[in-house]
């Protein structure tokens, strides 16, 4: 399998994508922002389509749209009473915009398929380098803000009482989430990127209880999902996204079953 350059590129890219998604996913789950990762995936579709329309890379367009929108949507949906309506309205708008941008562009429908479902096996060396740089930026941000972000994510009231700048932390997290959506969409597409950003972190919560262990399990599940997905896609010629999402869903239900078993014993 590794005799093929495109598979080597795919494994390098997917490894950094999985590490990023695994780390960010723990905080997505702890901050109850799974809804936002789903919305940003749809916004990312519009951003990538916009990039194609104006002649820039889909990744650049996706980053532009998701960073701006993550801060706006995060602020707009801070109150749970209006969260559902806000997210529904914004998601609908950006899906419509994405379809409009693609219809106005001169590219073929294969671009839409790549944006929606990912195209990891066709990723170029330049794109791999871009993903690695973005992943390193996200990981560096989390290393810098690790302690205050962990405090704010798992005990928001305590963090505010301690005088932490929770607003700044929220913005930093939203930017890293936006970058993670843009990175992850390259392998599973904008439709299913939230799978990597929510399920490994949610599964880890059922298995372990300290933040370092949560991060380790979440990253491990993300890596296992993308590596196994690439291998099975190579030997079957089935979509890699199918295998990744199936593995993460199966792992989630196994984690949920384990938690219920422990509660009953």
pLDDT at 246: 94
Say what the pTM is: 0.87
Residue-level pLDDT at 184:
80
> What local confidence, expressed as pLDDT, does residue 86 receive?
67
Q: What pLDDT sits at residue 4?
A: 87
Q: What is the pLDDT of residues 74-111, one digit of tens each?
A: 666 555 555 566 677 777 788 888 888 888 877 655 65
Other CB atoms within a 10 A radius of the CB of residue 75 amount to: 13
Task: State residue 232's pLDDT score.
Answer: 94
Instruction: Look at residue 208 in the predicted model and tell me its pLDDT.
Output: 94
Q: How far apart are CA 27 and CA 214, in angstroms?
A: 10
Name the architecture of domain 5-264: Orthogonal Bundle (1.10)
- Per DSSP, the residues of the chain read -TTSHHHHHHHHHHHHHHHHHHHHHHHHHHTT-HHHHHHHHHHHHHHHHHHHHHTS-HHHHHHHHHHHHHHHHHHHT-SHHHHHHHHHHHHHHHHHHHHHHHHHSSS-HHHHHHHHH--GGG--HHHHHHHHHHHHHHHHHHHHTHHHHHHHHH-HHHHHHTT--HHHHHHHHHHHHHHHHHHHHHHHHHHHHHHHHHHHHHHHHHH--SHHHHHHHHHHHHHHHHHHHHHHHHHH---HHHHHHHHHHHHHHHHHHHHHHHHH-
* pLDDT per residue rounded down to tens, the chain (265 residues): 888 888 888 899 889 989 999 999 999 999 888 877 878 888 888 888 888 888 888 888 888 988 888 877 766 655 555 556 667 777 778 888 888 888 887 765 565 666 666 666 667 788 788 888 989 999 999 999 999 999 999 988 898 888 888 888 888 888 898 888 888 887 777 767 888 999 999 999 999 989 999 999 999 999 999 999 999 989 998 888 889 999 999 999 999 999 999 888 7
Give me the pLDDT at residue 265, please: 76
What are the structure tokens assigned to 140, written together? 């560096």
User: What is the per-residue pLDDT across 137-164, written as a single tens digit (0 to 9) for each?
Assistant: 999 999 999 999 999 999 888 988 888 8
pLDDT at residue 85, as a whole number: 64
pLDDT of residue 21: 92
Domain boundaries, the chain: 5-264
Is the CA virtual torsion 134, 137, 139, 142 positive or negative? negative
| Neighbouring C-beta atoms of residue 253, cutoff 10 Å | 12
Residues in the chain: 265
Residue 79: the pLDDT is 52
- Give the C-alpha separation, 129 to 126, whole Å: 5
The pLDDT assigned to 92 comes to: 79
b/e burial code for range 106-139 (CB count within 10 A of at least 16 → b): eeeeebbebbbbbbbbebeeebbebbbebbeebb
Specify the pLDDT at position 129: 87
Give me the pLDDT at residue 75, please: 63
Q: How many CB atoms lie within 10 A of CB 264?
A: 6
Q: End-to-end distance of the chain based on CA atoms, in angstroms?
A: 44
């Amino acid at each position: 399998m590794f005799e093929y350059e495109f598979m080597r590129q795919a494994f390098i890219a997917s490894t950094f994508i999985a590490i990023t998604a695994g780390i960010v996913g723990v905080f997505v789950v702890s901050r109850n922002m799974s809804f936002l990762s789903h919305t940003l995936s749809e916004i990312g579709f519009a951003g990538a389509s916009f990039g194609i329309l104006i002649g820039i890379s889909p990744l650049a367009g996706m980053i532009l749209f998701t960073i701006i929108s993550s801060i706006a949507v995060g602020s707009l949906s801070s109150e749970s009473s209006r969260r559902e309506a806000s997210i529904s309205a914004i998601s609908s708008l950006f899906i419509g915009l994405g379809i409009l941008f693609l219809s106005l562009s001169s590219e073929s429908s294969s671009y839409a398929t790549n944006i929606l479902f990912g195209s990891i096996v066709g990723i170029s060396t330049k794109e791999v380098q871009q993903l690695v740089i973005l992943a390193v930026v996200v990981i560096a941000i989390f290393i810098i803000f690790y302690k205050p972000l962990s405090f704010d994510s798992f005990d928001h009231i305590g963090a505010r009482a301690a005088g932490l700048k929770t607003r700044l932390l929220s913005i930093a997290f939203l930017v890293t989430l936006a970058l993670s959506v843009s990175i992850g969409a390259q392998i599973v597409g904008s439709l299913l990127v939230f799978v990597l950003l929510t399920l490994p972190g949610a599964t880890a919560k059922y298995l372990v209880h300290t933040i370092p262990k949560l991060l380790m399990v979440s990253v491990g599940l993300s890596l296992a999902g993308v590596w196994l997905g690439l291998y099975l896609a190579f030997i079957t010629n089935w979509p890699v996204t199918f295998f990744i999402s199936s593995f993460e869903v199966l792992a989630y239900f196994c984690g949920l079953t384990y938690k219920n078993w422990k509660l009953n014993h």
